[in-house]
A = this chain, B = another copy of it.
Amino acid sequence: MEKNSKVWYQANGPEGDVAVSTRIRLARNLKDIPFPNRLSKAGLLEVARRVDEALASASAGLYQEFNRIDMESLNDYQAMAMAEKRLISPEFAINREGRTLFLKKDGSVSIMIGEEDHLRIQVMTPGFDPSPAYDLADKIDTLLDERLGFAFDERLGYLTECPTNLGTGLRASVMLHLPALRSNGMINRLSETISKLGLTIRGAYGESSEAAGAFYQISNQITLGISEKGAINNLISIVKQLISQERQTRKSMAGNEKNLDQIWRSRGILSTARLLESKELIELVSNLRLGIALGLFDDLDPSLPNLILSETGAATLMDRQKSVLQPNQRDKLRAEITRKILAS
């Protein structure tokens, strides 16, 4: 990744007051090679070799924008730091043997070789912007399919390791910041409706279903009997409604002095704390993000909340220091980095 330019997850995108990021992911497999779970290391490396070749022959310009990363060359925290930034999946960070990653230098496209499927093509973009992200994923998919020949069945569509991905192999996700809908409890009722419409909603941070910082990930679940465009349009329509309801609810929130007090204090604490645990940081950044959206902090760049979150994950901190850090050391460094970002 380029060190000195702003990468995708640190930018503020369309509908950035509510939408954090959009991700399009396609699951694809080569037809003449067994699925990764039945494949040797040599087999995995052969897939990587073919993808490398296909990328290079498809477009010299595109190929040069990618770094090829041998996942075995990374240590645990280097790999988990990439997962924290959502460049790769946590599973791919943990199980690195024989795995290869093709990562676009700005972090916006990653092709994981040997995750659950041979290829996971992932395109990420700040804010809510699924159509260009899908178009780019589709373009890469087409380029590679022409050269590699993906496993495809006329009736089932793209064949995948897990049946839940059969068909389009597409998962489109949007990360939304919904503090107002969490605060008035409406998110719980909405999530039932969302499930009925073939989508899931879950907390974007933390292991539990609890949505730390009111960050939610909404994704399509249906991949069979629907076109890729159809699935994306379905997601677009639901997300638009959620964004509009969140904005509506924020208006009444902004009239409440206690809410404003909490938002202002969060900025004060982020600017001064010497120790910040991860969970507290996420809640404070959530308030900061809401404050920016409400126009309280016109002196702050709207991308600051994304920047703080992307720089302060536990593994990211260790990657930065190039050493294992104890929780207390992380809390200290997390607070230090947060203060610097806010003072910049």
Contacts and interface: CB of A to CB of B under 8 A. Distances in A.
A264 B258 CA distance: 22
Contacts of A261: 273-275, 335
A325 interface: no
Interface string A250-265: 0000000110110011
A247 interface: no
A269 B264 CA distance: 8
Interface string A64-97: 0000000000000000000000000000000000
A274 B265 CA distance: 8
Interface string A265-297: 101111111110000000000000000000000
A328 interface: yes
A265 B273 contact: yes
User: What band does the interface of chain A fall in when counting residues whose beta carbon is under 8 Å from B?
Assistant: 10 to 19
Interface in A212-270: 257-258, 260-261, 264-265, 267-270
A336 B260 CA distance: 13
Contacts of A264: 272-274
A332 interface: yes
Contact of A272 (B268, B274, B335): B268
B275 A267 contact: no
A270 B268 CA distance: 8
A264 B274 CA distance: 7
Contacts of A270: 268
Interface in A304-344: 328, 332, 335
A267 B335 CA distance: 15
A273 B271 CA distance: 13
A267 B274 contact: no
7 contacts: A258-B275, A260-B274, A264-B274, A265-B269, A267-B272, A268-B268, A268-B273
Given A264-B272, A265-B272, 8 more contacts: A257-B328, A257-B332, A258-B275, A260-B274, A264-B274, A265-B274, A268-B268, A268-B270
